[in-house]
């Protein structure tokens, strides 16, 4: 089977990790001869491209994972660049796998996206959303009934090895600096967050090396601001990791003692390796993912009162309950593996029917 995989490329390191998770699943559960890829944020599915590339050269089109349902300014209100009327021109089976709703809480999914997503849902052989609360939002706002699957990022380690780079104990902190008007409300709340994070880093860095993990280029300056002048801290080299060296980023997450993260990618990747995570929440998906995995107590709203103290208290709890927490995560990941297998059992039936 020759597969064309379309997902987000060239912006966010985490999207590349999710792409690896999808490919790992495809290779495990389907008979794969070739996996090619294209950037869903740049490739227009014109009639020519559909006829001369998609239909002629491939047996299956895979869209996802990642937070593709986002962007009211995009032509279709989400990332797939195809006219709604052309979706029926795709003659090979296509699936939408583990996508997420990335609209912020107060943002509305526009009507053009609702119409386009409904057509995609009707034409797809299989349509699924990731387990971060996206189902409730898409079911209520779009009126479709997709399957819920574990985010493909939970499978970045499937049949892959990653080497340890830092030998001493370390903690990863990942903060987001894009879409700041939605993440922080205003500049004052952002400044308060930075002050709190600097105090948190100062305390943790006495016991662990702190590795800041920018996922997009804009994150670098905020990471630098948080650790400025604090010893035992560093920032990974974004230019060296992005994007073809994503295995380095995944390796850093795999061997961290624990992680504080403000992005879904920064939660999912370490959790997939049974690494404890504290989610720094400013988007519905952050908290919903931790609820889904049964760890809601480790999800903190960055604007809540007592954020700094609660974070430090949770870090102490992780350290004091580490083995039990790791064992719990192992059981959850085994559960996610079974759920993904069941999803691909259904996919095989759908694309072979």
* Residue (of 13, 1, 67) closest to 269 by Cα position: 13
pLDDT at 106: 82
pLDDT over 90 (residue 124) = yes
Arithmetic mean of pLDDT, 98-122: 95
**pLDDT tens per residue across span 70-79:** 999 999 999 9
pTM: 0.96
pLDDT tens for residues 287-306? 999 999 999 999 999 988 99
In the predicted model, is pLDDT for residue 35 greater than 90?
yes
Rounded CA-CA distance 328/133 in Å is 21
Q: Give the pLDDT band (50/70/90) at residue 17.
A: very high
- Give the pLDDT band of residue 337 (cuts 50, 70, 90): very high
Rg (Cα) of the chain, in Å, rounded? Answer: 20
Instruction: Tell me what the pLDDT averaged over the chain comes to.
Output: 97
Q: Where in 12-125 does DSSP place strands (E)? A: 34-39, 60-63, 66-69, 94-101
Q: Is 314 helix (H, G, I), strand (E, B) or coil?
A: helix
Residue 4, SS3? Answer: strand
- We find that the CATH architecture of domain 2-158+334-352 is 3-Layer(aba) Sandwich (3.40)
Which residues neighbour 294 within 8 Å (Cβ) at sequence distance 6 or greater?
328, 332
**Mind listing the pLDDT tens digit for each residue in 222-236?**
999 999 999 999 999
Q: 84 CB contacts (<8 Å, ≥6 apart)?
A: 76, 115, 116, 119
Cβ-count burial of 325 within 10 angstroms (0-12 exposed, 13-18 middle, 19+ buried)? buried
Q: In the numeric block, which tokens belong to residue 165? A: 């780079």
pLDDT at 304: 87
Average pLDDT over residues 104-132: 96
Residue with tokens 């995609």: 120
**Nearest residue to 274 via CA among 323, 318, 332, 330:** 330
166-218 pLDDT, tens digit each: 999 999 999 999 988 889 988 989 999 999 999 999 999 999 999 999 999 99
Which CA distances in Å does 221 have to 5, 216, 217, 244, 303?
A: 32, 10, 8, 22, 21
- For residue range 246-267, list pLDDT tens digits in order: 999 999 999 999 999 999 999 9
- The total number of residues written for the chain in this structure: 353
pLDDT at 193: 95
What digits encode the pLDDT tens for the residues 153-170?
999 999 999 999 999 999
Q: Where in the chain is the domain with CATH 3.40.50.2000?
A: 170-320
Inform me whether the pLDDT recorded for 105 exceeds 90: no
Confidence at residue 325, expressed as pLDDT on a 0 to 100 scale = 98
170-320: CATH superfamily:
Glycogen Phosphorylase B; (3.40.50.2000)
Residues 175 and 171: their CA atoms lie apart, in Å, by 13
């Amino acid at each position: 089977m020759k597969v064309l995989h379309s997902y987000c490329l060239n912006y966010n390191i985490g999207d590349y990790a999710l792409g690896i998770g999808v490919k790992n699943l495809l290779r495990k559960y389907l008979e794969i001869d070739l996996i090619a890829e294209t950037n869903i944020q740049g490739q227009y599915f014109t009639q020519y491209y559909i006829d001369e590339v998609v239909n002629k050269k491939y047996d299956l089109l895979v869209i996802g994972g990642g937070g593709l349902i986002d962007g009211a300014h995009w032509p279709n209100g989400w990332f797939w660049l195809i006219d709604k009327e052309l979706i029926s021109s795709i003659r090979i089976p296509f699936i939408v796998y583990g996508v997420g709703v990335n609209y912020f809480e107060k943002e509305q999914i526009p009507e053009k996206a609702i119409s386009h997503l409904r057509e995609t849902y009707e034409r797809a052989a299989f349509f699924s959303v990731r387990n971060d609360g996206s189902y409730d939002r898409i079911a209520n706002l779009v009126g479709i009934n997709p399957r819920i699957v574990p985010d493909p990022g939970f499978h970045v380690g499937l049949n892959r090895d990653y080497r340890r780079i830092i030998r001493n104990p370390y903690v990863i902190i990942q903060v987001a600096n894009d879409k700041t008007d939605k993440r922080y409300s205003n500049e004052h709340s952002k400044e308060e967050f930075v002050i709190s994070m600097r105090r948190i880093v100062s305390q943790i860095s006495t016991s662990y090396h702190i590795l800041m993990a920018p996922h997009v280029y804009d994150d670098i300056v905020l990471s630098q601001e948080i650790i400025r002048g604090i010893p035992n801290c560093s920032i990974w080299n974004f230019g060296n990791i992005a994007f073809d060296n994503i295995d380095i980023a995944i390796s850093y997450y795999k061997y961290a003692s624990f992680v504080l993260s403000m992005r879904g990618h920064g939660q999912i990747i370490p959790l997939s390796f049974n690494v404890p995570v504290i989610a720094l929440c400013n988007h519905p998906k952050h908290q919903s993912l931790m609820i889904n995995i049964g760890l809601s107590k480790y999800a903190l709203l960055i604007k809540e009162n007592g954020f700094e103290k609660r974070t430090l208290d949770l870090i102490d709890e992780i350290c004091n309950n580490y083995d039990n927490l790791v064992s719990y995560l192992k059981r959850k990941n085994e559960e996610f593996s079974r759920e993904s297998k069941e999803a691909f059992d259904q996919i095989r039936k759908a694309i072979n029917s």
